[in-house]
Amino acid sequence: MITIEPHLFGNRPAVRLANDQIETIIVTGGGHIASVKRADGDVNPLWAPTWPTFDPALRELRDPAVYGTSGEEGLLCSILGHNLCIDVFGFHSQGEQNAGMTLHGESGMVTWDVMAVDRDAGSVMLSAHLVHTAMTVERTFTLRTGANEVVVEESVTSLVGFERAIGRQQHATIGAAFLEPRPAFFSCNADRGVTYPEALSDDTHSYAVNTEFDYPHVPRRDGTTVDWRTYPTKGPSGNLSSLRMNPAEELSWWVATSNAHGLALAYVWEREAFPWLAVWEEDHHRDLPPWNRKEVTRGLEFGSWAYPGTRRKLVEAGTLLDTPAYEWLDAYERKTTRFLYALLPIGEVSEAPSLSPAGKGAVASDDTGWTFRLTDG
């Protein structure tokens, strides 16, 4: 039996979608995927900030003493779990900021409406109208009876009569509830990577600057490397990198496992739509409000934007590792893609399982017996 019902996530209006295996919760304020849990468990791997959050419609009421004045506070006061970034991943230009745009685009700053429910199919569709960005976004979440995964079909439609460069990023972030006690183990089907192109402001950023590497060995400033597949180790740290997903494979994926909680969180998506995995790590690093050196996160943010930055910066970059650094949206074009996320029980492991192609639109793991399918083909 599939349950689709109104819900309160803390104090925030939400939709709850559940079967006898898992439940997921999507808040309508910002459209964030706030939670995914096992039906018999209480661990939500997705990030719930230590500070209180509320609907973005109330963001002008935020207390600067709590949320700070860094320029990110408009989003931070409402962000949860998996945030959709569109049509920029990162900061906007000064003119766009003056017009009211905030970090990671407009979709996390508006109210999403429930437009359709099909309880027989186990699906619910939410939609957002992005006035400043001149587009609409629709997401249909589907959870089958007995399934461990939620399939999301996402459509983006331009409302203007000209082609433009955009960025779209699935800002999925894992929080301390999953990462602690440390470490967690990770895997993905990236082949190459590059560290963030600019030096950060302090020495806790241990990665080398603007340096290409072969996955999974990320270069550090001191000339050594660190294995991307284990995190967190010892803090504080605030590293940024971007991984190119294997261009030879139709589907891209990442898996995160926690021995302490006996859980594996997995995402699978269409590589053609989202060739990049931008990785953001925060381990008691940021000292400004609302961070206050309290957060432990790992953002595994798959999308079309190579790394967080303004539209001008990514367009001027053009490509990175022979891969487009942004995507085009044509006049009145409608783009549709799919991804899924799954939460499964797993025994103790020394490394996260890998997934392999298993026919069109599917990947599988020989070690665990998992099969994830994005399409019916």
Beta bridge partners, 16, equal: 5, 25
Distance CA 328, CA 247 (A): 19
Q: What is the pLDDT along the chain (377 residues), one digit of tens a residue?
A: 899 999 999 999 999 999 999 999 999 999 999 999 999 999 999 999 999 999 999 999 999 999 999 889 999 999 999 999 999 999 899 999 998 889 999 999 999 999 999 999 999 999 999 999 999 999 999 999 999 999 999 999 999 999 999 999 999 999 999 999 999 999 999 999 999 998 775 655 589 999 999 999 999 988 999 999 999 988 788 899 999 999 999 999 999 999 999 999 999 999 999 999 999 999 999 999 999 999 999 999 999 999 999 999 999 999 999 999 999 999 999 999 999 999 999 999 999 999 999 999 999 999 999 999 998 75
Domain 3-373 CATH (choose: 2.70.98.10, 2.60.40.1260, 2.40.340.10, 3.20.20.70): 2.70.98.10
At 312, is the secondary structure helix, strand, or coil? Answer: helix
Q: Which of 282, 265, 280 is nearest to 184 (CA)?
A: 265
Beta bridge partners, 136, equal: 129, 157
Distance CA 178, CA 45 (A): 5
Report which residue type is found at 194. V
Report which residue type is found at 224. T
Distance CA 360, CA 377 (A): 6
Residues comprising the chain, all counted: 377
Domain residue extents for the chain = 3-373
Read off the tokens for 44.
């939500």
Read off the tokens for 29.
């304020």
Q: Residue 365 burial (CB < 10 Å; 0-12/13-18/19+)?
A: buried
